[in-house]
Structures are given as C-alpha cells and as structure tokens.
Amino acid sequence: MTFHEPQPPMDGIVYVVDDDPGVRDGINDLLQSFQIRSEHFESCERFLEAWTDAYASCLLLDVQMPGVTGLELQEKLASRGARIPIIFMTAHGDVPMVRRVMKAGAVEFLTKPINVDDLIQAITSALAGDGARRQQAEARLALKQRLDSLSPQQREVLRHVTDGLLNKQIASEMNLSEITVKQYRRNVMEKMQAQSVADLAKMVAELSQGAD
C-alpha cells in the first residue's frame, strides 16, 4: 500500500469506532501520517459515552460490532439531532445496507480492505463539510443575535425596507415622521452591520432559511 506525502495538519477530528484493534491501529497510523487528529473506540457504547459535538469532526464507523451496531449508532445519533458526518466501513456490505445508511444520511460507504485514497478523500470531504456547516451555524446565530437587538419599531422598519418601501411610504404605514423613519433605518443598518438594502435582504433570507 502506497501512502502519500504527509500533509499539513487538517482541521477537525476523526472518531474511529471499530472492534478490531488491528484495524484501529492501522487507521491510527495512517491518519497520523496525514497529520489528522483522531480518537479511537472499540465499541459504539464507549463512543457515545465520550463523544462531544464541540469540534468539526466525522465518524469512521464499522457496521458490524458486538452490542450496539454501527447501524444502530447511526439511528441513535439521528434521534439526538446529531449531524456528525458518518463514513461507514465494512467487509460484509451489500446493496440494501448501502442504500439504508446512505438514505439515513451517511456521507460514504467503504468496503474493507479500504483503499487509502478513497478513505482520505472521504475524510477530507467530511471534515470540510462539517466545518463549513458549523461556520454557517455560527454566522446565522450571530445574525439572529443582531436581529434580536432591534426594537419592535426597528424590526418593522426592517420588514418594510426589505419589502422595497421608501421612507415616505414607511412613515405613512407606521404613522411616523419621515425623519423618525430615517433614524430607525440608520439604527437598523448599524445594528445589523449592513452596508446596503441588498445586504439586509440577504440577511433576512438567511434567517428565513435557518428557520426552515
């Protein structure tokens, strides 16, 4: 088996769950050669006890194990609302199994003995995807906090502005002076950290998508 040259350290961590110590050791050596952080567990139960959703990560998971199986762990994580990307690996896969785990949200299904290129590509993609998801969630949370800082009147002005109304029209709708509307509008732009009405519209759209 030919390994690539070591790469710069990769952001995120790979959780490896496999009851075969030889497999765990081999994967550990491989990931170390690519400077990829990893933690290893001999059972799904031990993983569930130790896992925390605090970092960009992915789960490299064996299908068949004593006790809780990989398929059952996928279901347990889904029931908790966990969104960690799962890469399944097995020496005994079949088409129905592949369809089942992929339909349930797995990002990849690899057959043992695992091809190194396929494994590293799957891990790289999974970590990048989870990192991007977390960044988007953090950005949406910051945006939500900015929106929450608006007063009820400022929120109403925001709604009218993004609906395309002019200051004069907003003043008429809210029974305010145009000068007051202009002040509210400036406050909205500052609190939302927007440079233009287009920025505000994008922010409102992002918040609406996050609520879906």
Using CA atoms of 127, 129, 132, 137 in order, give the dihedral in degrees to the nearest 10. Answer: -110
- Compute CA 197 distance to the chain's CA centroid, rounded to the nearest angstrom: 29
pTM: 0.78
Can you give the pLDDT at residue 208? 83
Can you give the pLDDT at residue 6? 43
CATH of the domain spanning 149-210: 1.10.10.10
How deeply is 179 buried, as exposed, middle or buried, from its count of CB atoms within 10 A (0-12, 13-18, 19+)?
exposed
Instruction: Find where tokens 């927007």 sit.
Output: 194
Strand ranges in the chain using DSSP code E only, listed in sequence order:
13-17, 37-41, 57-62, 86-90, 108-111
Residue 63 per-residue DSSP state: S
Can you give the pLDDT at residue 1? 35
pLDDT under 50: residue ranges of the chain: 1-8, 212
Concatenate the DSSP letters of all residues of 116-133 into one string: HHHHHHHHHHHHHHHHHH
Instruction: Find where tokens 């194990």 sit.
Output: 65
Can you give the pLDDT at residue 148? 95
Can you give the pLDDT at residue 211? 58
Can you give the pLDDT at residue 10? 66
Can you give the pLDDT at residue 98? 87
Can you give the pLDDT at residue 91? 86
Three-state DSSP class for residue 188: helix
Angle between helices 197-210 and 116-148 (to 10 degrees): 110
Superfamily of domain 13-137: Response regulator (3.40.50.2300)
Burial annotation 6-43 (CB, 10 A radius, 16+ → b, else e): eeeebebbbbbbbeeeebbeebbebbeebebbbebbbb
Domain extents in the chain: 13-137, 149-210
Angle between helices 116-148 and 21-33 (to 10 degrees): 70
Cα separation of 38 and 22, whole Å?
16
